[in-house]
C-alpha cells in the first residue's frame, strides 16, 4: 500500500513544475505592461527553476499571446501552447 502512495506523490511532484510554468506564462500574457514588469521583478527576487524556460523564451522574444491571452512559446519555428488547455 505505501508503495502506491509514494508513486502517486512522486507523479504529482513531477507534474507540478509544468503547472507552475503554465500559470506563470498565463499570468504574464494576461497582464498589462506595468503588471508584467512587476511580475518580472517578483520572479527575479524569488527565482524558481521551473521558470527558466519561460524566462529564456521571454529574453529571446519567443513568447506570444493570442486574443484570449493564452501564452505560446516559439520552438523551432512553431508556437507551442504553454498550458494544457490550448
All three cell numbers of 82: 504553454
Model confidence pLDDT, tens digit, residues 45-68: 888 888 888 888 999 999 888 888
Mean pLDDT of the chain: 80
Q: How far apart are CA 74 and CA 78, in angstroms?
A: 5
pLDDT at 4 exceeding the cut of 80: no
Q: How far apart are CA 10 and CA 5, in angstroms?
A: 9
81, containing H or E segment: strand 78-81
> Is 10 part of a structural domain of the chain?
yes
> Is 86 part of a structural domain of the chain?
no
pLDDT at 21 exceeding the cut of 60: no
Mean pLDDT of 59-83: 87
The pTM of this model reads 0.64
Amino acid at each position: 500500500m505505501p508503495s502506491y502512495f509514494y508513486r502517486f506523490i512522486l507523479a504529482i511532484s513531477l507534474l507540478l513544475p509544468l503547472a507552475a510554468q503554465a500559470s506563470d506564462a498565463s499570468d504574464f500574457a494576461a497582464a498589462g505592461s506595468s503588471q508584467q514588469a512587476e511580475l518580472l521583478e517578483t520572479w527575479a527576487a524569488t527565482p524558481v527553476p521551473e521558470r527558466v524556460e519561460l524566462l529564456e523564451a521571454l529574453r529571446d522574444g519567443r513568447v506570444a499571446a493570442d486574443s484570449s491571452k493564452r501564452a505560446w512559446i516559439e520552438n523551432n519555428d512553431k508556437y507551442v501552447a504553454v498550458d494544457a488547455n490550448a
